[in-house]
Amino acid sequence: MMALSLFLHQCAMNRGVVKNPFDDYKSDAFFFRAVGIGEDMDMQRARSKAVHQAKVEIARSANSVCQQIVLDYLNQTGNGTDITLKEQFITISTESVSESLVNVIVEDVVFKKDKNNKYTCYAKVKVQESNVFATFSNRSSDKMEINAELFKQITDKVINQINTKLP
């Protein structure tokens, strides 16, 4: 609480735009991570907005990876042009990501209060990648007739490709 008070006091003294205090908070091989920013006259609503924005960003990232897995799977199984199958996979990936976001971890929040008594909240949020992909894989296997072993191999390959590109 003391750190929050000092931060708010420092912001009031600077009267300038506060830089995102979590600029270096990035996804890695274990977690999807995002920083959300929320503004409101109410501190809790600002926090809720920031956490929501971070969840949306994580969902975008996770859905992007899931779509790559789907495309690779469909192409390897000769179903690359099967729109119905692709739509089923996309629906399952969206459900899986949404379910996984229930388990987000809010690591830290920082508040700024401006001269008009409006709060800006920065929230560091993460979710385990393995949770997202396990949910996606399990749902896909349960709801569709797929080659589960091939699906797992493709999932692992796509994740490894992404992780090798990370700094």
pLDDT of 52: 97
pTM: 0.82
Whole-number Å distance between alpha carbons of 65 and 133: 9
Question: 28-57: per-residue pLDDT in tens?
Answer: 889 999 999 999 999 999 999 999 999 999
Distance CA 44, CA 33 (A): 21
Closest alpha carbon to 111 in 43, 42, 36, 12: 43
What 3-state DSSP class applies to 111?
A: strand
| Of 5, 8, 2, 1, residue with least CA distance to 117 | 8
**Interval 95-151: pLDDT, tens:** 999 999 998 999 999 999 999 999 999 999 999 999 999 999 999 989 988 898 999
Domains of the chain by residue range: 2-15+25-158
| Phi, psi (rounded to 5 degrees) for 82 | -80, 95
Q: In 3D, which of 78, 86, 97 has the Cα closest to residue 139?
A: 97
Rounded mean pLDDT, 3-22: 52
Q: What is the pLDDT of residues 52-85, one digit of tens each?
A: 999 999 999 999 999 999 999 999 999 989 999 9
Greatest C-alpha distance within the chain: 63
Q: Which amino acid is residue 154, in one-letter code? A: I
